[in-house]
């Protein structure tokens, strides 16, 4: 078995295969240090934690992760908090920075005898429609190489070799540009509130998400095409303060902006998630906007479904799970996409939409937030989908 990519999808898959004695190698383009320090998502859904616990992969997050179950909405109509841990299915998030999870998964895989080829870039998946697919690679110093296996798992993200190797017409791509861009910021500052903060403001959305006691993630909606370094730190903090209504609800705790990047909110889904012997999981299978923090959670879920199906096939000769893999994952993916799309429309006026700002939709948004503030059944629905995958 060859797995492309040592992100959450590839490493969960690698661990689960190794646990059950399936021979596999993980090919990773980056070096180990890079993989272990890349700051990405940090909100793990309850089901993700259950999957990791089921396979003995949750020790680190149990020790260092923090339970989280409150979000706060701020708008011109005031603020309200939703203790979603006490609503819906009563589930919480665990806040655990993704680089720590990746480090735990990698350590566990290597200690168990797993093999990861770092600095090895998959170039193409070849002969995927046969029983003997292969992966051509570029190793250190550009040396070419080739790996053969019965199956290949494409867990190498949006720009990886798995997606590139799909023949035209073999897989359909559904794509949506939500017309919204975010300036994503990692601040060397303690969290400013004990909740995830969602601020809806006429100047655009602002978000607050705790990572650790010293690091906080903030998001600022910005015009499409804004350069990541276009705003000074002072302007960023002033804008965050304004949109989060610091004058009314308390000032933000400022610090150095350690990282920043612009992200255009986009979604896509590939269908089916298989081409012959090549299976897609994680970002390679579909992109989901970061709005509802579903990306890493879907990646872990898909990896477990794929691992079970591969074990059934390779160890027991039963291919039913592999045949059903795509449909099973897509049911979860579309539900997550639906909720994420709803969140985007709840929180933003799409400044990048071709038809421009819409006062009609702004009023709908206001009414949607009012419903969330006042309707218990709406709150239950929100909680179930917000933490669920
Ligand atoms: N060959 C080998 N490795 C590659 C290649 C390639 N051609 N291209 C990319 N990679 C590696 C990347 O370096 C990275 O380590 O594949 C890995 C993909 O990892 P992620 O991008 O973390 O993707 P995935 O495991 O699917 O996790 C998805 O995690 O960060 C969250 O929300 C985010 O949705 C995302 C989720």
140 and 120 housed in the same domain = yes
185 and 299 housed in the same domain = no
pLDDT digits (tens, 9 = 90+) for 74-87: 999 999 999 999 99
Residue 386 domain-assigned (yes or no): no
Ligand 1 within 6 A of 336 CB? no
pLDDT attached to residue 73: 98
241 and 105 housed in the same domain = no
Residue 329 domain-assigned (yes or no): yes
Ligand 1 within 6 A of 162 CB? no
Q: Is residue 351 pLDDT above 80, yes or no?
A: no
150 and 211 housed in the same domain = no
Ligand 1 within 6 A of 303 CB? no
Give the per-residue SS3 of the chain: CEEECCCHHHHHHHHHHHHCCCCCEEECCCCHHHHHHCCCCCEECHHHHHHHHHCCCCHHHHHHCEEECEEEEEECCEEEEEEHHHCCCCCCEEECCHHHHHHHHHHHHHHCCCEEECCCEEEEEECCCCCCCEEEEECHHHCEEEEECCCEEECCCCCCHHHHCCCCCCCEEEEEEEEEEEEEEEEECCCCCCCEEEECCCCCCEEEEECCCCCEEEEEEECCCCCCCCCCHHHHHHHHHHHCCHHHHCCCCCCEEEEEEEEEEEEEEEECCEECCEEECHHHCEECCHHHCCHHHHHHHHHHHHHHHHHHHHHHCCCHHHHHHHHHHHHHHHHHHHHHHHHHHHHCCCCCCCCCCCHHHHHHHHHHHHHHHHCHHHHHHHHHHHHCC
146 and 41 housed in the same domain = yes
372 and 252 housed in the same domain = yes
Q: How far is the CA of 283 from the centre of ligand 1 (A)?
A: 7
- The CATH number for 303's domain is 3.50.50.60
Ligand 1 within 6 A of 293 CB? no
Q: How far is the CA of 58 from the centre of ligand 1 (A)?
A: 20
pLDDT digits (tens, 9 = 90+) for 305-343: 999 999 999 999 999 999 999 999 999 999 999 999 999
Residue 384 domain-assigned (yes or no): no
Nearest CA to ligand 1 atom 19: 7
154 and 213 housed in the same domain = no
Note the pTM of the prediction, 2 decimals.
0.94
Enclosing domain of residue 259: 178-265+357-379
pLDDT above 90 covers a percentage of the chain that reads 90
pLDDT digits (tens, 9 = 90+) for 16-31: 999 999 999 999 999 9
Residue 314 domain-assigned (yes or no): yes
Q: Is residue 166 pLDDT above 90, yes or no?
A: yes
Number of domains in the chain: 2
21 and 170 housed in the same domain = yes
235 and 361 housed in the same domain = yes
């Amino acid at each position: 078995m060859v797995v492309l990519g040592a992100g959450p999808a590839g490493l969960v898959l690698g661990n689960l295969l190794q646990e059950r004695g399936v021979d596999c190698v993980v090919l990773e383009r980056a070096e180990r240090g890079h993989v272990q320090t890349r700051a990405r998502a940090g909100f793990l859904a309850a089901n993700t934690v259950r999957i990791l616990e089921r396979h003995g992969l949750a020790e680190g997050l149990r020790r260092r992760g923090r339970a989280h179950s409150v979000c706060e909405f701020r708008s011109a109509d005031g603020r309200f908090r939703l203790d979603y841990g006490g609503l819906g299915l009563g589930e919480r998030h665990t806040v655990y920075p993704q680089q720590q999870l990746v480090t735990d998964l990698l350590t566990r895989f290597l200690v168990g005898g797993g093999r990861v080829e770092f600095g090895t870039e998959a170039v193409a998946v070849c002969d995927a429609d046969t029983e003997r697919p292969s992966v051509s690679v570029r190793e250190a110093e550009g040396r070419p190489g080739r790996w053969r296996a019965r199956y290949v798992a494409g867990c190498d993200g949006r720009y990886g070799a798995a997606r590139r190797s799909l023949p035209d017409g073999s897989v359909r791509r559904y794509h949506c540009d939500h017309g919204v861009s975010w300036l994503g910021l990692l601040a060397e500052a303690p969290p400013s509130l004990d909740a995830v903060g969602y601020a809806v403001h006429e100047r655009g959305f602002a978000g607050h998400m705790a990572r650790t006691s010293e690091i906080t993630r903030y998001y600022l909606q910005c015009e499409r095409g804004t350069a990541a370094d276009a705003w000074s730190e002072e302007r960023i903090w002033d804008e965050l303060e304004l949109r989060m209504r610091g004058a009314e609800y308390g000032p933000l705790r400022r610090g150095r902006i350690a990282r920043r990047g612009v992200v255009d909110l986009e979604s896509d889904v590939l269908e089916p998630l298989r081409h012959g012997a090549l299976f897609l999981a994680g970002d390679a299978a579909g992109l989901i906007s970061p709005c509802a923090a579903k990306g890493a959670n879907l990646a872990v879920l898909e990896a477990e479904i794929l691992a079970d199906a591969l074990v059934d096939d390779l160890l027991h000769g039963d291919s039913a799970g592999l045949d059903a893999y795509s449909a099973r994952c897509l049911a979860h993916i579309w539900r997550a996409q639906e909720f994420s799309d709803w969140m985007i429309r709840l929180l933003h006026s799409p400044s990048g939409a071709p038809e421009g700002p819409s006062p009609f939709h702004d009023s709908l948004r206001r009414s949607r937030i009012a419903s969330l503030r006042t309707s218990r059944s709406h709150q239950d629905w929100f909680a179930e989908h917000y933490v669920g995958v």
